[in-house]
Protein backbone atom coordinates (compact mmCIF):
# COMPACT_ATOMS: atom_id res chain seq x y z
CA UNK A 1 0.00 0.00 0.00
CA UNK A 2 1.33 3.45 -0.96
CA UNK A 3 1.59 5.97 1.89
CA UNK A 4 -0.71 8.98 1.65
CA UNK A 5 1.04 12.30 0.94
CA UNK A 6 1.03 14.91 3.68
CA UNK A 7 -1.08 18.02 3.21
CA UNK A 8 2.06 20.01 2.34
CA UNK A 9 3.19 17.39 -0.19
CA UNK A 10 -0.26 17.29 -1.73
CA UNK A 11 -0.31 21.09 -2.07
CA UNK A 12 3.14 21.09 -3.62
CA UNK A 13 2.12 18.38 -6.11
CA UNK A 14 -1.03 20.30 -7.02
CA UNK A 15 0.92 23.53 -7.42
CA UNK A 16 3.52 21.84 -9.60
CA UNK A 17 0.85 20.27 -11.77
CA UNK A 18 -1.02 23.51 -12.30
CA UNK A 19 1.74 26.10 -12.52
CA UNK A 20 5.14 24.40 -12.67
CA UNK A 21 8.27 26.45 -12.08
CA UNK A 22 6.42 29.75 -12.35
CA UNK A 23 4.04 28.86 -9.52
CA UNK A 24 6.88 27.61 -7.33
CA UNK A 25 8.79 30.87 -7.88
CA UNK A 26 5.73 32.95 -7.00
CA UNK A 27 5.03 30.89 -3.91
CA UNK A 28 8.69 31.23 -2.92
CA UNK A 29 8.38 35.02 -3.26
CA UNK A 30 5.22 35.08 -1.15
CA UNK A 31 6.70 32.85 1.55
CA UNK A 32 9.86 34.93 1.66
CA UNK A 33 7.89 38.15 2.05
CA UNK A 34 5.58 36.57 4.64
CA UNK A 35 8.42 35.12 6.71
CA UNK A 36 10.29 38.44 6.79
CA UNK A 37 7.10 40.36 7.56
CA UNK A 38 7.48 42.40 4.35
CA UNK A 39 3.91 41.67 3.37
CA UNK A 40 3.41 44.64 1.06
CA UNK A 41 4.87 44.46 -2.42
CA UNK A 42 4.46 45.94 -5.86
CA UNK A 43 3.68 43.77 -8.87
CA UNK A 44 7.04 44.76 -10.40
CA UNK A 45 8.85 43.27 -7.38
CA UNK A 46 7.05 39.98 -7.94
CA UNK A 47 7.82 40.03 -11.67
CA UNK A 48 11.52 40.74 -11.04
CA UNK A 49 11.76 37.89 -8.50
CA UNK A 50 10.09 35.48 -10.91
CA UNK A 51 12.09 36.63 -13.96
CA UNK A 52 15.32 35.98 -12.04
CA UNK A 53 14.24 32.39 -11.36
CA UNK A 54 12.40 31.30 -14.49
CA UNK A 55 11.65 32.74 -17.90
CA UNK A 56 8.02 33.78 -18.27
CA UNK A 57 5.84 36.33 -19.95
CA UNK A 58 5.53 39.44 -17.73
CA UNK A 59 1.78 39.07 -17.21
CA UNK A 60 2.10 35.39 -16.32
CA UNK A 61 3.23 36.08 -12.75
CA UNK A 62 0.11 38.17 -12.11
CA UNK A 63 -2.13 35.51 -13.63
CA UNK A 64 -0.59 32.69 -11.60
CA UNK A 65 -0.70 34.78 -8.41
CA UNK A 66 -4.45 35.20 -8.95
CA UNK A 67 -4.73 31.44 -9.48
CA UNK A 68 -2.91 30.75 -6.21
CA UNK A 69 -5.35 33.09 -4.53
CA UNK A 70 -8.36 31.26 -6.01
CA UNK A 71 -6.85 27.97 -4.86
CA UNK A 72 -6.51 29.26 -1.30
CA UNK A 73 -2.72 28.88 -1.26
CA UNK A 74 -2.13 32.62 -0.81
CA UNK A 75 -4.41 35.47 0.09
CA UNK A 76 -3.81 39.15 -0.46
CA UNK A 77 -5.52 42.51 -0.53
CA UNK A 78 -5.04 45.10 -3.22
CA UNK A 79 -3.86 48.16 -1.29
CA UNK A 80 -3.55 50.45 -4.29
CA UNK A 81 -4.65 49.17 -7.69
CA UNK A 82 -3.15 52.09 -9.60
CA UNK A 83 0.26 51.55 -7.97
CA UNK A 84 -0.09 47.73 -8.21
CA UNK A 85 0.51 47.49 -4.46
CA UNK A 86 -0.53 44.27 -2.72
CA UNK A 87 -0.55 43.10 0.90
CA UNK A 88 -0.27 39.40 1.73
CA UNK A 89 -2.79 38.27 4.33
CA UNK A 90 -2.12 34.53 4.27
CA UNK A 91 0.44 32.14 2.79
CA UNK A 92 0.40 28.36 3.17
Angstrom distance (rounded) from CA 60 to CA 77 = 19
Look up the CATH number of the domain holding residue 45. Answer: 1.10.10
Q: Is residue 54 part of a domain?
A: yes
State pLDDT tens for residues 20-75.
788 889 999 999 999 999 999 999 999 999 999 887 666 688 889 998 999 899 99
**pLDDT at 3 (0 to 100):** 73
pTM of the model: 0.77
Q: How many domains does the chain have?
A: 1
In whole angstroms, how far apart are CA 62 and each of 3, 43, 56?
Answer: 35, 7, 11
Q: Is residue 60 part of a domain?
A: yes
Mark out the alpha helices in 1-92 (DSSP H runs). Answer: 7-35, 43-53, 58-70
In a domain, 27, yes or no: yes
User: Which pLDDT value is given to residue 24?
Assistant: 87
Domain that holds residue 26: 7-91
What is the model's pLDDT at position 56? 64
Q: Which helix (H) or strand (E) holds 86?
A: strand 85-91
Asked whether residue 34 is assigned to any structural domain, the reply reads yes
CA distances 36 to 49, 58, 62, Å, are 15, 25, 21
Q: Of residues 78 and 63, which shows the higher confidence score?
A: 78
56: in domain: yes
Amino acid sequence: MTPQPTLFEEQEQQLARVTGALGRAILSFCRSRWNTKQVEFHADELREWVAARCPAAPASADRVLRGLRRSGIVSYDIVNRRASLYRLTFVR
